[in-house]
Structure formats: C-alpha cells, structure tokens
Amino acid sequence: MSLRAYLVINVTNPRRIHRQRSRSFVRRFLELLSGLGAYPGGSGIILWAAAPESIPDTLNILKPIAVSFGALAPAGSLDGIQIGSGTTPVSWNDYRLASPIPHSPSGVVYGAMSYSNIVDEPAGGSFRLIRSFTNNSSTNITITEVGLTARLVTTSNQPAQVLLARDVLTTPIVIAPNATATIRYIIRVTM
C-alpha cells in the first residue's frame, strides 16, 4: 500500500493549470497518523489523534497533542492550505513554509477550505482538499511553495498549527491582480 498526494493549481488570468506530484509529507504527518483512533463521544463518534510523542508546531515548539477534527478552515484562516514565496528545498523536519504569504484583504485573500468525499478507485481511493487564493493587490504575486497545515488542540487545551506537507513548486505560479489560483491537494491511497 502507498500514500500519494498531488497538487493541482488553476489560475484564472491568464488561464493556466499546473500539476505536480507532492513528495513532501513531513514527519509531522506520520506523527499525527501514528495515534489516530476513534473514541465514542456524547452524540456520536469524535475522532482524536493522540500522538505518542510531542509534535513541533509551526513555531517549532514541542506540544503534546490531543486532536479533535472539526470543520475545515474558514476564509482568512491560515489553517489548511497555505502559500509562500520560499525556495528552500523541502526537508523531512520542516515545520512551516520557508516564506509564507499571509492572508490580507488588500493582498492575497485566503478563501474557505473545502473538500471532496472519498472516491473509491479500482486499487484504493482518494479525496481532495481545496482552497482558492485571490490577488486583491495591484501587482503580480508569485507562489513558489505550498503547504498543508492542521489546527490541533494540545492536551492542555491550547491551539497549535502543525505542518503536514510542504512542496516547492517545480514552476512558480504567478497570480495577476484580480486573478484567483485554486489549489487542490489530492490525497490518494493505492494498494
């Protein structure tokens, strides 16, 4: 069995599609999955990931983790898919993007996250995590890296953001003023 992820980026103006395989699930992803389990809750099943070790957050501070999975990130949130302008090669121990591009109403606007249900395939299945980024500035914005983060809750009830994947793009993506780039992480398991 193998786990693969892909990036697909659609840009509206000028129209362009960029595809590449993501090769960068970082150690945090395995740490998170290592403790995944389901525990009964008051009105149904609540999913928790209780990693057997502390996980460094996006500030590289070790945090003991007990995670509840909830709604995907709303518009403007830095949780979920993020973009950046860094070109530092991907490292197994990356804990944040090299140079994040922040959400800004007069710059890049982070749209709400969405996802697709799991699609059964002949030798496994896949699902998609999707987010759009709109350039509200008057200049081009260049994306050279993409990351996927999760918002977790520590065992002391403190929020922590953890990097699950980081990709340096093989070709930079330019978002022109008033254009939108839609990024999809396609997570696929094959047997």
Alpha carbon distance 126, 129 (integer Å)? 10
Element (H, E) at 34: helix 27-34
| pLDDT score, position 37 | 38
| pLDDT score, position 38 | 33
Q: Which residues contact 6 (CB under 8 A, 6 or more apart)?
A: 19, 20, 21, 22, 184, 185, 186, 188
More confident residue, 136 or 26: 136
pTM listed for this prediction: 0.75
Which residues constitute the domain of residue 7? 2-190
Q: Give the 3-state secondary structure of residue 10.
A: strand
Residue 131 tokens read as 């987010």
Longest pairwise C-alpha distance within the chain: 51
pLDDT in tens, 77-88: 888 899 999 999
| pLDDT score, position 47 | 44
Element (H, E) at 28: helix 27-34
Nearest to 92 by CA among 31, 21, 154: 31
Beta strands 62-63; 108-110: pairing state: unpaired
| pLDDT score, position 78 | 82
Residue 76 tokens read as 């403007």
Q: CA angle, corner 99, sides to 96 and 102, nearest 5?
A: 90
Alpha carbon distance 189, 56 (integer Å)? 26
Element (H, E) at 61: none
Mean pLDDT of 161-167: 87
> Of 23-27, 50-54, 106-110, 147-151, which has the strongest mean pLDDT?
106-110
Domain count, the chain: 1
**Do the Cβ atoms of 145 and 172 come closer than 8 Å?**
no
